[in-house]
Every structure is written in structure tokens, then in C-alpha cells.
Structure 1
Amino acid sequence: MAEAAIIHNRKMKSRETTLNILLWILIGILFLFLAGELIVQFFIIPNFTIKHVNVQSDFPVSKDAVLKLAGINNKLYYFEVKPNVIATRIEEYPLVKRAAVKKVFPDTLSIVITGRKPLAVALVNTEEKSVPVLLDEDGVIFHIGGAGRELNLPVISGLSFKDFRIGTILPKKVKPFLTDLYRLKEDYPNLFKIISEIRIIPKSSTDYELVFCPVSYNVKVRLGKRLEAKTVKYALMVLDLLKDDIKSRGIDELDFREGNMVYKVREE
């Protein structure tokens, strides 16, 4: 019995020794981790600051303006910079479509800005007057005034706002039409150039029709809600076939809403 007790005591002491060793190892690991964290926070991070900010933009904007938009006005520590946060701040500016921000080790921040490109000139009706604006395929108004005349862009009319400003976005209901117009510009530039004016005719608060006026014909083309390439091609083909009849018969409008073409003559 005495020998068994001695063996049991030895086993208990061995276990206690093992646990003590593991505990000290754990304490050592925690100490090293904390020491490393302190070294990073107080010695490494302060020595890695953003010293260079490279800005590229495809439209005129000063570096100081970009830094202001990005919220960069104090010393930045390399490891604390969050590129996505800075990009989001810059993209809040209406003239900016996209901002790409990345860190370049050890001390540089790169900012590449893509500006909004005009898709059309829109005539916006207010309570007082009609105002020309530039907008892009997202329906964002990013310029107010007459700067679009020399750009040779189609005119969109029939829009009404009680109040609008730079950054105002057109209603979601017209987004499919703007997407169609953008596709024409990118994929069928010859068709895009033929469109002189597009009128948005409201049918209800959520519905509308389109009427477009081609450059070379004194006639209106009435469509549904879309401005797809196949429809525009078909309309232009019909116009070409009827070009002699447009004047002789006094054709004022071609209606393609039901698939088959119906024309209307001018009222005397």
C-alpha cells in the first residue's frame, strides 16, 4: 500500500509539473504576442506613414480637391488606411463615376478617378423654365447649363422636377430606356447619331412612352418604353421607304407601339 501511495504521489507531481510547464509556455506566448503588438503599435506603424498620394483622373480636378473629397487632411498611417472607405467618399462627388484606391507599400496611396461621361442633353422643366443638363447612363445629372451643344448628343425632353441639382438622379422607371440609349451609343454609334430628340411622354406616375425624332426626317416616331436597336433599325428602314411619301402625304408621325406601323398625317 505504501509503495502504491508513493507511485500515486509521483504521478500527481508529474502531472502538476506538466501543467505548470504548459501554463508558463502559454504565459510566454501571450507575453510575446503582447510585446509584438506593442512593438507594432509604437515602433512599426508610426514609421510607415503615407508620404506620397498619386492622383489620376480623366477629367480636370485638382489634387487638393481630391484629397478633400477623400477626407485626407492629416498624417495617414499605412496600415490603418482603408482604401474602400476612401473610394466611397470620393464617389459621393456627382462628377465621379468610379474611384479605385489602393496602397502601394511602403508609403504610397494611389487614387484613380473615372468621371461621368455625358450620354445626352436633357431639358428639365421646372416651375419657372426649361433648363439644359448633362446626364449619364445611370441617370445622374452632373452638369447644369448649356455646355452640351458642341457635344453632338441627343436631346431628352419631357422631364419635370420641382427642384433638382447636380447629383439628382432620374426616376428608376426611365433606367431601362437610358440603358438602351447607352447600348446604342456603344454598339451602334451610327444609329445613336441619327437620334435628334427623344421625348418622354408620361402615361401615369409609373408609365411612359417614347417619341424620337430622327435627324434627317421631319417626322416623329412613337415607340413604347424601350429604345432597342432592332426597333430603331426597323423605324429607319420604314422612314427610308416612305421618304417620298412623308412630304406628299403630310405624314407627321409613325407609330410602332403595336408592332405594325401606323402613320398619322398632319392636321390642316
Structure 2
Amino acid sequence: MSDFVFRSVGGAEGRGAGKKGGVRIRMKAVKWFFIVFALIFVIEALVYLVVIPSMQTATVIWSGAASYSQEYLSRVISPLSDRSWMRFSKSEAFSLLSSVSGIEDVQIVKRFPDKVYINVVERTPVAMTFVDVGSRTVPIQIDKNGVLFTLQTSQPHSSSIPLVSGIPIESVPGGMRVPSKYRGLLEQISAIGNLSQNYFAAISEIHIVPKESGNYELVLYPIHSRTRILTGRQLTEEALQYMMVALDVVNTLESDVEEIDLRYGSIAYRTRRSSGDSF
């Protein structure tokens, strides 16, 4: 009997020792699993936090550009093309893009770990003119602040953007402004262009005539008429409405009117066969 008891106890102790050994093995396996997992996590964190931002070339994502292609804008910032995210200079990119005459503003956001988002705000033309460049005559856009600029892609001429001639411009360096005395006229043109009625659709050209006093006057050329209209420097909605009414009235009275003069508060006109009339 006692011999059986001892053998039973010994067997139980052996099974208990076997279970403890199995638990220790499983604990070691779990421990190594967590160690390996922690190492993988640390390596991935190092890659994400250090390697990608400092070694991988930054990915630039463009938005806002309508007249400039992404390839063109990428060439503009080509000095930064091989920079990593950490070495990509927002101020340098801003300076390079601002040198493009048709770009008014730039917003740059760096997003960890390797993205650079660049939003381009293009200038909005309110008028256009033509400038002789070498042996060519090229169209130049003008914004409401008087900045002259060109676009990478040619845009179809809009009837809401008038042609303004007579501005003294000899060359077109990027970002050049028209003389300050003409900027008030461009602000007036911009205000009229924002109206619901497209008044400039009836005008083919606004010509600036300088005066000896340093001031200037305007000559307007309606599209569907051979009559030009002389007026002062104030260009408003009311002034344009008055011009259109005067043009209709005078053309009703005379069929061969060459010029209508509205500069002095009354309506004077000159036909091609007379020296002048007024009423």
C-alpha cells in the first residue's frame, strides 16, 4: 500500500514539473514574440520618423494652377527637386514661385513625413495690352494692381477683359507695374468688370491719350460702330451708360459721325464731312 502511495505522489510531482516546464517555454515564446515585435516597431518608427523625412526626396503635390502646368512649376522650383522633406525650404520655394509674373500668392504646407502641398494663386487679369518684344508683338495681361504678367498657356480672349492701349511700356520684366497714374483706371476697369452687366463686350479698345499737364484722357472704340468716343479719365458704370445713350442718339441724327466728345459736360460730335456740332 505505502509503495503505491509513493509511486502515485511521485507521478503527480512529475506531471506537475512537466506542466511548469511547459508554462516556462510558453512564457519564453511570448517574451521573444514581444521582443521581436518591439524591434520591428522600433525599426519602422525609425524609418518613418528619421529615414523618410531626412533621406527620401519630398513629394510635391500642386493645386490651384490653371494657366501653368505642374511640369512648368516643378521646373521653377528645380533647385529643390532633390531635397528631402526635412531640407525642403518653404521660404526658398515661395521666393522661386513668386518670381513668376502670373503668380500672385503661394501657400506651402509641409506634411510629415514626406509630403509638401503647394497651392498657387494666379493673378486675375482685368485688362490686356500689346507690347513689342524684339520683332514680335505679344499680348500682356494686367491685374487690378497694375502688374503686368504673361501666362504659360495662351488663353482665349474674354469679352469681359478690355484691350487698353497707349500705356507707355517698353519692356516686360516679370512683375513690372504700369506707371502709378494709370492704376486708378485699372481699379475702375476692375470694378466695372465685376458688375453683372458685361459692358466691355460692347467696347473693342480703351486708348489712353496723355496730356501735356501729365494727366490723360480716354478714347473708347465701340465694337459695332465706326464712331470713337472721347471722355475724361473717370470710367464708371454711369459714364459707360451715358456713352452708349449718346452714341445711339447721335447716330440716329447723323449717319456719318466720326467722333463724339463727352469731355466737357455736353455732347459734341464731329462728322467726317464737318468740323463739329454739339447739342
Distance 1:130 1:149 in 2: 19
Q: Name the CA shift for 1:164/1:150 in 2 (closer, same or farther; >3 Å).
A: closer
Alignment check: 8 A CA contact 1:96 1:116 kept: yes
Question: 2:105 maps to what in 1?
Answer: 98
Question: 2:68 maps to what in 1?
Answer: 60
Distance 2:88 2:165 in 1: 45
Question: 1:112 maps to what in 2?
Answer: 119
Structure 1 gap ranges (5+): 1-42
TM-score by length of 1: 0.67
Structure number with greater Rg is 2
Q: Give the share of equivalent positions with the same residue, in percent.
A: 20
3-state SS of 1:187 partner: coil
Q: 1:141 aligns with which of 148, 161, 170?
A: 148
Distance 2:174 2:224 in 1: 33
Task: Please give the per-residue CA displacement for 1:147-191, whole angstroms capped at 9, x wherever unaligned.
Answer: 677544432222333444554432121111112112222224421
Cα shift at 1:122: 1.4
Question: 2:204 maps to what in 1?
Answer: 196
Distance 1:171 1:102 in 2: 35
In the alignment, does 2:266 pair up with 1:253? no
Q: 1:229 aligns with which of 227, 237, 248?
A: 237
Structure 2 gap ranges (5+): 1-47, 274-279
Question: 1:18 maps to what in 2?
Answer: none
CA RMSD of aligned residues (A): 3.2
Distance 2:81 2:194 in 1: 39
TM-score by length of 2: 0.65
Cα shift at 1:77: 3.9
Q: Name the CA shift for 1:110/1:208 in 2 (closer, same or farther; >3 Å).
A: same
Q: Name the CA shift for 1:237/1:208 in 2 (closer, same or farther; >3 Å).
A: same
Q: Name the CA shift for 1:87/1:165 in 2 (closer, same or farther; >3 Å).
A: closer
Q: Which residue identity is paired with 1:93?
A: V
